[in-house]
Structure 1
Amino acid sequence: MTSTEQGRRKYDELAERYEEIFPYVADVGQLLVDYARPERGSRVLDVGAGRGAVARAALAIGCQVTAIDASKGMVDRLAADFPEIDARQMDAGALDFPDGSFDLVAAGFVIQVLPDADVALAEFRRVLAPGGMLALSLEKQTVGRLRWLFELAGEFFGAPVPSDDSPGGMTSDQLNALIESAGFIDIATDSVEMPVPMEDPAALWDWLTPRGLTDAVAALPEDKAEQFRLRFIAGAEHMQANGGISLDFKATLHRAGTR
């Protein structure tokens, strides 16, 4: 099974409870639509729509919404919940739409997980009409009070432990450079900060599952996997007892136009 197929299967499994595990998605989806400011009647494409955080925010202000996702489970659930939305299973890097089909292409927390972000951005540019708008949100990895977890991952998986100044992952400047290279203009950026509390260690584990934790632990020898689970629970319980389990969630919103 390819990594893309693995990703699709993970999100198929998460379709029913996606926004319970990722509680900030709906809020940032609304913020992204507010940032893009599409007019009523605008043709909107939501890429990597998931359960529809961006799509339903656009629908609520009278936009004509098409939503795509690589996960069939996500698409099926979105179509059932919002029959007004044209929901389709599709890859972000190979959009099955004619040139100039949309006034706004939006993608919430998608661009950083795509294997070829430049290819996807070129497709977004192609399907936008002249004068159209691109709107993206980018999750910013933070260390904060989760340093114990990064250090644990470094010990068991050899993952680099990021610093607070350079936490790793795609940066907003890197994304803006990609957006500019794809031919967009008038690039603007804004920041979002919101703490995301986790109820217990199990909730933190669930949050990390689609980010590869379960697969990484499963690849360890059985004794090492059990050691990791015990250390993870101990670390999360310590965090819970000392201020609670909370993610220092940050994101950037990106907006750009077309000629």
Structure 2
Amino acid sequence: MVNADAYDRGFARLSRHAVAPLLARSRSARRLLDAGCGSGVVTEAALALGAVVTAVDADPAMVELTARRFPGAAVRRATLPELPFGDGEFDAVAGNFIINHVPDTGAALRELRRVLRPGGTLALSWWAAGEMTATAVLADAMEAAGLSSEAPPRPFAADAGPEWFAALLTETGFAGAEVESVRWRHRVDLDAWWTDVVVAGGARFGAIGRQPPEVAGRVRAHYERLAAPYARDGFPVRAHIAHARRP
């Protein structure tokens, strides 16, 4: 289980930058599903727009945190590609950095299409390959210290680009698929980023915290060296955001 509070301070703050462009085409949606809600950054923004929000996540700690923070949303545990909703139940579906984590990308997209009403909108984000410096420095620090930094295998292509994903959206029954890229600088205290990402856990960087103190210390020293050039201006980050609709 992920440490939800640490995740909220670390990765959720990073992912918050993508929320506005993610919701840009569903601002008038009445019924919105936040798929893979995490600690609720999309839920918060959609509630502020006046939507009736349903949020789901596979992690019980995330469900508990989001439900506690946003009592105006209906929050429940669910895992793609099986959602406990009827056909056409939502006007919009938004998933902020969730599609790259699902076990079957095509099946997840078909399920998201099922719960959308005809004409409903879909918006999904994922990290651009090779431009996620905020986590790359941690992976490189692990490698420099002799630890494996390989992410758990997933079917979502590591180098998935806009053309590939737009074609997959069309293949799974969506129309009008478009993908945009957004860039930002993630300005964060380097000590806090280390602490929150490692404490948050997870299969990849949580392994640092499970090492003997001397090993974790070596990783930390390499991280401080590699992250130092970004201390003033922040980590450069790029993400892709796909928009489509159910015909």
Q: TM-score, normalised by structure 2?
A: 0.82
CA contact (8 A) 2:134 2:237 kept: no
The CA deviation at 1:207 is: 2.4
Q: Which amino acid counterpart does residue 7 of structure 2 have in structure 1?
A: Y
Task: Please give the alpha-carbon distance, in whole angstroms, between the structure 2 residues aligned to 1:76 and 1:146.
Answer: 26
Match of 1:18 in 2: 7
Q: Using the TM superposition, give the Cα deviation of residue 254 of structure 1 relative to its aligned residue in structure 2, in angstroms.
A: 0.7
1:212 maps to which residue? 204
C-alpha deviation, 1:63, in angstroms: 1.3
Q: Which has the higher contact order (CA 8 A, sep 6+)?
A: 2
Q: Does 1:177 align with 2:167?
A: yes
After TM superposition, the structure 1 = structure 2 runs for residues 28-177 of structure 1, keeping only pairs within 5 Å, are 28-34=18-24, 36-39=25-28, 42-141=30-129, 142=131, 149-154=138-143, 156-157=146-147, 168-177=158-167
The 3 A distance-change label for structure 1 pair 54 and 234 is: same
CA contact (8 A) 1:201 1:233 kept: no
Aligned mates of 2:204, 2:136 — CA distance in 1: 18
Map of 1:203 onto structure 2:
193
Q: Which ranges in structure 1 are unaligned for 5 or more consecutive residues?
A: 1-8, 161-166
Question: Structure 1 residue 250 and structure 2 residue 242: aligned?
Answer: no
Counterpart AA for 2:166: N
Once the two structures are superposed, residues 74-104 of structure 1 have per-residue CA deviations (whole angstroms, 9 ceiling, x without a partner) of: 1122222222211111112101111111111
- Structure 2: 5+ residue stretches without partners: 151-156
TM-superposed deviation, 1:153: 4.1
Identity of aligned residues (%): 29
SS at structure 2 position matched to 1:210: coil
Q: Is the 8 A contact 1:19 1:26 kept in 2?
A: no
- TM-score w.r.t. length of structure 1: 0.78
- Residues 166-192 of structure 1: CA deviation (Å, up to 9, x unaligned): x94433333223222211110111111
Larger Rg belongs to? 1
Is contact 2:19-2:41 (8 Å) kept? yes
Task: Measure, in 2, the Cα distance between the counterparts of 1:238 and 1:69.
Answer: 35
- Number of aligned pairs? 235
The question of whether the paired residues in 1 share the 8 Å contact of 2:6 and 2:196 is answered with no
Q: Which residue of 1 aligns with 2:154?
A: none
Match of 1:238 among 217, 225, 238: 225
Answer yes or no: is the 8 Å Cα contact 1:187–1:254 preserved in 2: yes
